[in-house]
Every structure is written in C-alpha cells, then in structure tokens.
C-alpha cells in the first residue's frame, strides 16, 4: 500500500480505491502531487511544474537561482507550509524558538514505513484490529534553525478510501520552546471550482448544513467554546461544485477532537487551494519543554469519486468498525425512556417504579433516571460536584433492583465535568473550578466548569463516579456537559499557562472518560452537551452514541438528523419521541427510528390508541432496526432543495432496506416518484408501501409513485425486502389501494 521510489523521491500511498502521492524535492520540502482515484504511477515533471516565480536564495556569498519550473516557494503545493517565508498561504506550524524567532520551516530528514498504525498518545483515535489492516508512513522533518523535529503520520487502510493524519513535535533543544500553532493535516489542491460544506448550529437547532463557494478569501470553520460549541462542527466536505449525493469528487475531513478546533480553506492568487485542520490557535500558546513532545489530534480524510453518499458510507463504516467502543459498535441498543420529561426534578422512588412498569408494558427496555437524584438537587442551581445520592428523595438500590426484576435495564444521568457554587466541594475547594476568582465569574446554567487540567480534580471526580457505579448495578450512563467556557483561569496551571488551558482540559476530559470506560466496559455510555453541542469523533471513541438534540419537535428533528447523518452513523445519534403534539405518535416514532430510538414522555399521559401504536412500532423497530444500525445510508431527496427529506438504509447484502420520506408543507397532486438507491438491479423486491414486487432496476430508475395530495408533515416509512419470485399474494390491487390510502 505504501512505497517509496528512492530515485525520484516519490511516496505512493494507494489501495484499490484511492491514491495519495507526495515528493521530497531537492531542497527537502515535501511537495503534494496527487490525491484521488487510484493511480498506478505519476509523472513528476508534468504534475509538479509551476510556471510561477522561480525560486532563488542567497547562500551567504551569492544569489542562487533555481532554473527549473518544478518549485516555487510561493506557489508549489506543500505538505507542510512554513511560517515567515515566501509561502504566505497559512503555516502548518508556528513556534517561538529559543531565540524568540517565529520563523518555522521544516525540511525532510528521514522516513519510515511500517505495518499497522501509530496512535497519538492521550488522544482518541481510529483503531486497527491487526497490523495487516493498514500501513503507516512516518516522515520526520527537521527545523532549519535548531534541534526541533516534526513527525508527520500518514496511515492508509487496505479496504477504505481513508487516510488518517496527525503530527508529533519533538523539542530536542536544551530550552523550552512555545508552540503557537500545529496542524493535524495540510491539504493543498488545484482548484476545480470547489465548494465547502460545513455544519453550524445553536441550541435547539444543533446541526444545519451550509454550502460556501471556496474563493480567494479564506474560509474559517472553527469553534472556541471549549468543547460545548454548537456554532460549528469539526467535520467538513470539499466537493466539486457540480458534485451531488451520487456524482462527483468529494473530500471529507473530520477531526477526532472535542475541543477548540479550526479548519482554514482558501485559494491563493494562482487559484490553488489550501486546507489546514488544527487545534484552534486562538488563545493557544503551549510550552514544550526541553526533550518533551506535543501531539495533535487525528484528522481523517475520506475520498469519494461517486458523490457525498459514498463518502458518507465510508465514514459511517470507518467510525463503526474502527472508532466506536467495540462492545457496542455493531450492536442494537435498548429502547429507552428518560425520566426528565415525565417528572423533571419532581420524582421519588414510587414514581420511578411506576415509570418502570409503564415502560415494560410499552415494550421499552431501559429506564433512565435523569437529573435530580443527588445532593440537594431539586433545581438546576445546586449540587453539581456532590455526587452523593439524596436518600430522602429516592432509594436507588430499590429502584434498580425493581427494574432488573422486571427485565428492564437501568440508567442514570451525571454531569461530572461541572461544579455548582453552592456545592460542598466548591466550598471546600474553590480552586477546583476553572474560573478567574479575581472577578465575578459568569455563571451559565448556575454552574462553572471543573478544572480537569489538574489530576487531583480528575481523581476526585472519578472517586465520586466510583462510589456510584461500584455500588449500584447501573447499565447505562448519560454524561452531560451543559455550559461553555468563559473567564477561564486555572489556579493549578497559573497565569503563565493560560494558553494551554483549553487543550489541557480536553486531555483531562479524555483521561476521565478513559478511566470510566475501562473500569465500566459494560456500561452503555451516551454523551451529551446541552443537546448535541459536543458531537464529534473524539467523544464517539468513548461513547457509542451521543444525544442528537434537546429539540424533539419532528420538523426540526428531521433537519437536525439529516445534517448529522452526513458525517456520523445513524446508530450514534440519540433520537427520541417526545410529547410534542405537532405530529402524530406514529410520525414521531418513524423519525426517531432512524437513530438510537427512545422516548421523552410520560406514559401515564399517553392515550390508549397511542399506547397501541408505541407497542406495535417498538416490535417493528426491534425487527428492522439492524438495517439502520449497520446498513449503507443514502440521501434520496435533500430538504435544502426540495419539499422533502428522504433517505434510506440498505443492508450490506442488499436484501433489506428501510425508506424514510417526510414532506414539510402541504402539497396537492404532483407527479412524484421516490427513486431508491443501493438495491441489486437484477433482484426482485417487495415494498410495504404498495405491497408490490418489482426488480431493483425498476425501483431505482422509475421509483415508487406517490403522486397524490400530501399533508403537511406527512411521514412515510416502508420496508423493502428481496423476494425469490413475484408472489401473487402481494398483487391484490384492492388491498394495495387500501394500503396506499392509509399511508398517503
């Protein structure tokens, strides 16, 4: 998969679908040559020519001019752009050296090709199951000024059009240096009229896709909230302007990181592009002491020559198979109900036991006790950090035993990274809060952030969690994170290290999560950040699912899930049915079925008819949800361009599929067909919408006819199943018509 042509000094990273070429030029610069569909070989001369300003330099005595057209300091495509040189398109690294200079220019020193993969220490990462699964190129660069070295890691996988990148800096001087910027990946490219797709949002509108043409003004996709940032998500797409879900060249980039991040994308004056992905360098200044190292998060590059759907399927497979916790990654999750909507803080032992019995009656498999079970937490302004059970409010052991006796799993809510000013731990240790005590710190949701840059605080929090999870047989944990950072200061780190707080906090959070998941590998963990404010690959390394949004209104949820689905597997998206009365119970269940699936409502307030629907659909979900969990995802119709959000999931063997269609506004009769994707064109399939059987070729080229008046908010769910013959029993046209009228 990885080879090096020593004569031409060209690296070739290729598998069956994808190739990535780079070159070491005579000055020691790493030059990017090609990224795209598999290419067996490359012509260095024609690809590398740049008829831009020739490269010249002064060697101390005379001017030296490079007469070739193969290199330009300001126009060549680099793998590692320098700082304060003629390349002004954005630096890969910025270091304040021991002499205070910030000239940062790395050149080739050596390389190594190994079987398997190297992982960034202390950070979440993509995993391999055997060394034969991947190969890694490690290129060591040396700074031109002093003994500072930079390793660039390139891992390519045999069976996926994916390249995983990260960087590691080595300070081999005898003094400290200060890192002000270090990228995980740089991707230089020749412009093909590309545009950028990013995700932005806010609380209650957590994910929304945005398309921006890539021009000569730099685009910055970033977040600086400290982790709970809805504003933008650490995953983007660069695609040809004409590329769509099924056609055209697509590059997807996603950082395996849960803190402040940045993507920079823009064209230079020669219409060449540069993308850089990194820890956000705003308020970032990191001391790397003598003989110490610094490692960046991983960034995965996904390539597709067949549109966005193919890139989505690749990142979904890669995340499920190589990132999520293995115990849960490919398994169905229990249908759950959460106590928050029924009771909020107003619950007791008997109320929760009643909820357990109601859940059992409805075919729900797990009850989650949400906020309010600890300290004096009867409102959201108290007790975070004091994780002692309020025994006057609830007998937790009795409730858990009762739940398990009735065959129902039991879960609990925690928010371990936060602290309340009225808590006993804050009164005893105010320095445990990450705030500037010289002024009145801002409270958000009446709380502050724990200083997880400090191992003492991490150990305190973990001991609190151990007291709970060691002594109670808990099956599931909802791990919340309800505020962003402001006026941050660590009394542990001191003023001189304020530029390290954001990143060190993320490392501390990962350390705490690692300790928790290793001690409790059988606990199903679902992370949350006031909804989906911390929905990223870094969190998914520890938790196989993340709450998709606090907004459960079906109209909003369809849009949120549509955007999230592009980058993240559906099995990772917490999607629940609430008491929102905007649509029917059936409609809300269908939308939630394309996620982890659960409920946020009070069963005691559900009508008898709705209870019947819940019971019926819970059985249906258990029968077919494996298609959502493990299948290939296809967008059929985008709500950004049509009145519909329509998608489908198809099993890997193409024998089963689930199709979803939602129309937003009421429309009268129009010629409409849902054209399916991903089926075997030569096989026959039964569809449960019309009870008809047709070949896959027919479904994909003609589609299913829904040319009828459609009500506002109408939701459709139907099953596609491969059959051996055209069974006469499903060709009863009278039954078909009844079925169609019922669904349409």
- Model confidence pLDDT, tens digit, residues 111-132: 999 999 999 999 999 999 999 9
Structure tokens at 340: 């928050």
* CA–CA distance, 127 with 116 (Å, rounded to integer): 10
pLDDT (mean) for 339-364: 97
pLDDT given for residue 72 in this prediction: 86
Beta-bridged to residue 36, according to DSSP, are 19
Phi, psi of 2 (to 5 degrees): -120, 130
pLDDT at 191: 85
371 is catalytic: no
Q: Where are the alpha helices (DSSP H) in 323-366?
A: 326-329, 340-343, 349-362
Q: Name the residue ranges covered by the structural domains of the chain.
A: 2-325, 633-743
Please give the Cα distance from 300 to 283 (Å, whole number). Answer: 25
Of the ranges 43-52, 102-111, 440-449, which one carries the lowest mean pLDDT score?
A: 43-52
Q: What is the reported pLDDT for 96?
A: 98
Q: What is the CATH number of domain 2-325?
A: 2.70.98.60
- Identify whether the C-beta of residue 196 lies closer than 8 Å to the C-beta of residue 273: no
Does the fold of domain 633-743 match that of domain 2-325?
Answer: no
Phi and psi of 313, rounded to 5°? -65, -35
Average pLDDT over residues 715-733: 74
Give which of 281, 443, 511 is closest to 434, Cα–Cα: 443
pLDDT tens digits for 466-477? 999 999 999 999
Confidence at residue 662, expressed as pLDDT on a 0 to 100 scale: 96
Q: Is 507 exposed, middle or buried (0-12, 13-18, 19+ CB in 10 A)?
A: middle
Q: What is the pLDDT of residues 553-579, one digit of tens each?
A: 999 999 999 999 999 999 999 999 999
pLDDT band for 727, please (50, 70, 90 cuts). low
Average pLDDT of the residues in 602-616: 95
Residue whose token pair is 């820890």:
279
pLDDT digits (tens, 9 = 90+) for 71-113: 888 889 999 999 999 999 999 999 999 999 999 999 999 999 9
Between these two residues, 581 and 615, which has the higher pLDDT value?
615
- What pLDDT, on a 0 to 100 scale, did the predictor assign at position 729? 45
Residue 514 has pLDDT above 80, yes or no: yes
**What CA–CA distance (Å, rounded) separates 501 from 732?**
68
pLDDT at residue number 738: 45
- Two structure tokens written together for 631: 């299948």
The CATH code of domain 633-743 reads 2.60.40.1180
662's tokens: 């939602």
Determine contact, residues 121/507, Cβ cutoff 8 Å: no
Question: Cα–Cα distance between 29 and 314 in angstroms, integer?
Answer: 32
CA atoms within 13 A on the CB side of 384: 27
User: Distance (Å, rounded) from C-alpha 673 to C-alpha 687?
Assistant: 14
In this structure, what token pair is assigned to residue 345?
Answer: 């803080």
Find the length of the chain: 744
Quick check: 419 and 426 in contact, CB under 8 A? yes
pLDDT given for residue 111 in this prediction: 98
For 6, residues 6+ apart whose C-beta sits below 8 A from its C-beta are none
Separation of alpha carbons 536 and 124, rounded Å: 11
Determine which one of 246, 550, 602, 697 is catalytic: 550
Give the model's pLDDT for residue 502.
97
Catalytic residue of the set 105, 480, 536, 587: 480
Dump pLDDT digits (tens) for 303-333. 999 999 999 999 999 999 999 999 999 999 9
Predicted pLDDT at 740? 42
Calculate what percentage of the chain has a pLDDT beyond 70.
97
Structure tokens at 56: 């010249």
**Number of C-beta neighbours around residue 521 at 10 A:** 12
Distance of alpha carbon 47 from the chain centroid: 34
* β pairing state of 235-240 and 272-279: unpaired
The band of 728, judged by pLDDT with boundaries at 50, 70 and 90, is very low
State yes or no: pLDDT of 693 exceeds 70.
yes
SS3 212: strand
Pick the range with the lowest mean pLDDT from 218-227, 335-344, 720-729. 720-729
Q: How do the residues of the chain divide into helix, strand and coil, expressed in percent and rounded to 5? A: 25, 35, 45
Indicate whether 230 pLDDT > 90: no
Across 287-291, 530-534, 727-731, least confident range: 727-731
What pLDDT shows up at residue 66?
72
Residue matched to tokens 């009421």: 666
d(CA 684, CA 432): 63
Please tell me the predicted confidence (pLDDT) of residue 744. 35
**Which range (33-47, 493-507, 627-641, 649-663) has the least confidence?**
33-47
Contact 601, 341 (CB under 8 A): yes
pLDDT at 437: 78
Burial 334-359 (b: 16+ CB within 10 A, else e): bbbbbbbbbbebebeeebbbebbebb
- Give the contacts of 650 (CB within 8 A, at least 6 positions apart): 627, 631, 632, 634, 656, 657, 677, 678, 679, 720
Q: Which helix (H) or strand (E) holds 34?
A: strand 30-37
For the packed helices 608-630 and 585-592, what is the interaxial angle rounded to 10 degrees?
A: 20
How far apart (Å, rounded) are the C-alpha atoms in residues 726 and 133?
42
Summarize pLDDT for 616-670 with one digit per residue, the tens: 999 999 999 999 999 999 999 999 999 999 999 999 999 999 999 999 999 998 8
Provide φ and ψ at 507, rounded to 5°: -60, -40
Token representation of residue 445:
């949701």
Q: How far is CA 641 from the centre of its chain?
A: 24
Alpha-carbon separation of residue 35 from 39, 108, 307, 374 (angstroms): 9, 20, 16, 54
Q: For residue 117, which of 132, 102, 101, 97 has the smallest C-alpha distance?
A: 132
The answer to whether 246 is a known catalytic residue is no
pLDDT at 581 over 90: no
245 pLDDT tier (thresholds 50, 70, 90): very high
Percent of the chain with pLDDT over 90: 88
């Amino acid at each position: 998969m990885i080879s090096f042509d020593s004569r031409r000094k060209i690296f070739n990273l290729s598998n069956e679908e994808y190739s990535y070429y780079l070159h070491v030029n005579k000055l020691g610069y790493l030059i990017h040559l090609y990224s795209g569909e598999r290419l067996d070989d490359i012509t260095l001369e024609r690809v590398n020519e740049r008829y831009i300003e020739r490269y010249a330099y002064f060697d101390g005595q005379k001017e030296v001019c490079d007469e070739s057209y193969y290199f330009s300091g300001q126009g060549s495509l680099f793998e590692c752009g320098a700082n304060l040189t003629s390349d002004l398109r954005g630096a890969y690294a910025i270091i304040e050296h021991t002499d205070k200079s910030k000239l940062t220019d790395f050149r080739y020193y050596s390389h190594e090709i190994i079987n398997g993969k190297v992982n960034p220490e202390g950070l979440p990462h993509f995993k391999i199951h055997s060394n034969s699964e991947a190969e890694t190129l490690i290129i060591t660069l040396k700074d031109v000024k002093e003994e500072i070295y930079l390793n660039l890691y390139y891992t390519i996988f045999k069976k996926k059009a994916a390249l995983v990148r990260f960087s590691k800096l080595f300070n081999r001087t005898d003094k400290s240096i200060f890192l002000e910027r270090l990228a995980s990946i740089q991707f230089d490219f020749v412009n093909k009229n590309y545009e950028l797709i990013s995700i932005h949002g806010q609380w209650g509108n957590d994910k929304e896709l945005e398309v921006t043409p890539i021009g000569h003004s730099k685009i910055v996709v970033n977040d600086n909230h400290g982790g709970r940032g809805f504003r933008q998500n650490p995953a983007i797409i660069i695609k040809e302007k004409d590329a769509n879900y099924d056609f055209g060249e697509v590059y997807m980039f996603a950082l395996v990181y849960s803190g402040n991040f940045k993507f920079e994308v823009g064209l230079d004056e020669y219409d060449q592009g540069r993308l850089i992905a990194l820890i956000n360098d705003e308020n970032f200044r990191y001391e790397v002491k003598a003989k110490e190292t610094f490692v960046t998060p991983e960034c995965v590059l996904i390539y597709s020559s067949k549109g966005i759907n193919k890139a989505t399927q690749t990142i979904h497979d890669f995340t499920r198979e190589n990132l999520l916790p293995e115990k849960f990654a490919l398994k169905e999750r229990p249908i759950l109900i959460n106590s928050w909507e029924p009771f909020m803080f107003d619950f007791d032992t008997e109320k929760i036991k009643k909820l357990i019995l109601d859940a059992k009656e409805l075919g729900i498999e797990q009850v989650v006790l949400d906020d309010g079970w600890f300290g004096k937490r009867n409102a959201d302004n108290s007790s975070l950090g004091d994780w002692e059970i309020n025994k006057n409010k609830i007998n937790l052991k009795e409730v858990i035993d009762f739940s398990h006796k009735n065959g129902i799993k039991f879960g609990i809510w925690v928010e371990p990274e936060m602290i309340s000013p009225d808590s006993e731990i804050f009164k005893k240790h105010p320095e445990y809060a990450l705030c500037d005590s010289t002024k009145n710190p801002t409270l958000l949701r009446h709380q502050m952030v724990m200083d997880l840059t400090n191992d003492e605080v991490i150990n305190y929090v973990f001991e609190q969690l151990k007291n709970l999870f060691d002594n109670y047989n808990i099956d599931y944990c909802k791990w919340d994170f309800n505020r962003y950072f402001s006026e941050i200061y660590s009394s542990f780190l001191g003023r001189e290290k304020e530029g390290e707080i954001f990143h060190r906090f993320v490392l501390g959070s990962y350390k705490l999560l690692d300790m928790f998941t290793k001690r409790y590998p059988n606990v199903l963990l679902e992370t949350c950040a006031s909804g989906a404010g911390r929905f990223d690959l870094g969190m998914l390394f520890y938790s196989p699912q993340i709450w998709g949004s606090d907004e459960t209104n079906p109209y909003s949820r369809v849009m949120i899930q549509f955007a999230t689905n592009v980058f993240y597997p559906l099995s990772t998206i917490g999607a629940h049915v609430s008491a929102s009365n905007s649509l029917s119970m059936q409609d809300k269940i269908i939308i939630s079925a394309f996620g982890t699936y659960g409920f946020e409502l009070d069963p005691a307030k559900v009508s008898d008819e709705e209870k019947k629907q819940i019971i019926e659909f819970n059985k249906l979900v258990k029968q077919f949800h494996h298609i959502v969990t493990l299948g290939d995802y296809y967008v059929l119709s985008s709500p950004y361009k049509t009145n519909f959000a329509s998608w489908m999931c198809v099993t890997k063997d193409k024998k089963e599929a689930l199709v979803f269609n939602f129309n937003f506004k009421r429309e009268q009769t129009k010629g409409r067909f849902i054209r399916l994707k991903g089926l075997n064109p030569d096989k026959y399939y039964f569809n449960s919408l019309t009870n008809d059987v047709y070949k896959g070729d027919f479904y994909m080229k003609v589609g299913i006819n829904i040319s009828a008046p459609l009500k506002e908010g109408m939701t459709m769910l139907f099953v596609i199943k491969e059959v051996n013959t055209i069974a006469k029993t499903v060709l009863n046209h009278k039954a078909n018509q009844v079925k169609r009228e019922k669904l349409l």
